[in-house]
């Protein structure tokens, strides 16, 4: 692994561990990471639409993949344009749920849904892809509301007639972040500062 790639992965790991896992935003994130079910591709420069789609296709085709992340550390893509890329990847990778994460997001605690973009304030622009077959398997399995919530959060999608479960997770996340807002912001600021220093040191271009 090159030094540049290593730093991108390290910074992403900080976000996953110190934010997503620490604040229990997605209870399935830790086991998926520890069991090697997360596949990550880093795209350099300003990736084309085709590059985003092809990277997602390649990752999701791996038999071990339960969660695919396509990361663009040098991209200056705006949040609304990343949202459009998410839609494009969803169309180009059938049978998946795609969620977009962007480093620029305003904190809005007015309602649980309005907090979601801030909870997806990743160090670099990224798209997260989860097979819908995983959602179907969870729905057909005997039990586990917790696993349903976990998969929904990972995929950024809500299975039909299970909106109450997604709403419950959003409410729980809202309560946790409302209680620990200052600590969460401090963690995000620490990761952002680490990113700036590390990327400058290894020569990764950055628009921020």
CA atoms within 13 A on the CB side of 103: 23
Report the C-alpha gap between 192 and 162 in whole angstroms.
35
- Mean pLDDT, rounded, for 174-196: 95
Q: Please check whether residue 29 is in contact with residue 20, taking contact to mean a CB–CB distance below 8 angstroms.
A: yes
- Mean pLDDT, rounded, for 2-13: 97
- Residue 134's pLDDT is what? 62
Pairing of strands 126-131, 67-71: antiparallel
The pTM (predicted TM-score) of the whole model is: 0.83
- Residue 160's pLDDT is what? 44
- Residue 206's pLDDT is what? 83
pLDDT digits (tens, 9 = 90+) for 81-103: 999 999 999 999 999 989 999 99
Backbone torsions φ then ψ of 56, nearest 5 degrees: -65, -40
Between the CA atoms of 174, 151, 128 and 81, what dihedral angle is there, to the nearest 10 degrees?
Answer: -50
pLDDT digits (tens, 9 = 90+) for 40-72: 999 999 999 999 999 999 999 999 998 999 999
What is the widest separation between alpha-carbon atoms in the chain? 50
pLDDT digits (tens, 9 = 90+) for 144-184: 445 445 455 555 554 444 444 567 778 888 998 899 999 99
- Residue 9's pLDDT is what? 97
- Crossing angle of helices 163-179 and 112-119, rounded to 10°: 70
pLDDT digits (tens, 9 = 90+) for 107-129: 999 999 899 999 999 999 999 99
- Residue 172's pLDDT is what? 86
Neighbouring C-beta atoms of residue 180, cutoff 10 Å: 14
Neighbouring C-beta atoms of residue 3, cutoff 10 Å: 12
- Residue 156's pLDDT is what? 54
**H/E segment holding residue 97:** strand 96-101
- Residue 135's pLDDT is what? 52
Report the C-alpha gap between 108 and 1 in whole angstroms.
38
Classify burial at 47, counting beta carbons within 10 Å of its beta carbon; exposed 0-12, middle 13-18, buried 19 or more.
buried
| Sign of torsion over alpha carbons 27, 152, 58, 40 | negative
Report the C-alpha gap between 26 and 153 in whole angstroms.
6
Rg (Cα) of the chain, in Å, rounded? 16
């Amino acid at each position: 692994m090159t030094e540049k790639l290593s730093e991108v992965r390290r910074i992403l790991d900080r976000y996953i561990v110190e934010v997503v896992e620490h604040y229990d935003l997605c209870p399935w994130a830790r086991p998926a990471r520890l069991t090697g079910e997360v596949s990550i591709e880093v795209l350099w420069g300003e990736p084309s639409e085709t590059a985003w789609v092809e990277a997602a296709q390649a990752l999701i085709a791996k038999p071990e993949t339960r969660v695919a992340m396509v990361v663009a550390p040098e991209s200056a893509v705006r949040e609304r344009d990343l949202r459009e890329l998410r839609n494009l990847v969803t169309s180009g990778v059938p049978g998946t749920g795609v969620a977009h994460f962007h480093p620029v997001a305003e904190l809005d605690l007015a309602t649980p849904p309005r907090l979601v973009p801030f909870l997806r304030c990743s160090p670099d622009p990224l798209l997260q892809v989860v097979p819908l077959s995983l959602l179907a398997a969870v729905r057909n399995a005997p039990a586990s509301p917790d696993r349903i919530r976990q998969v929904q959060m990972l995929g950024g999608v809500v299975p039909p007639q299970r909106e109450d479960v997604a709403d419950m997770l959003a409410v729980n996340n809202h309560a946790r972040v409302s209680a620990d807002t200052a600590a969460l912001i401090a963690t995000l600021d620490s990761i952002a500062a680490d990113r700036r220093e590390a990327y400058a040191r290894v020569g990764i271009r950055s628009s921020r």
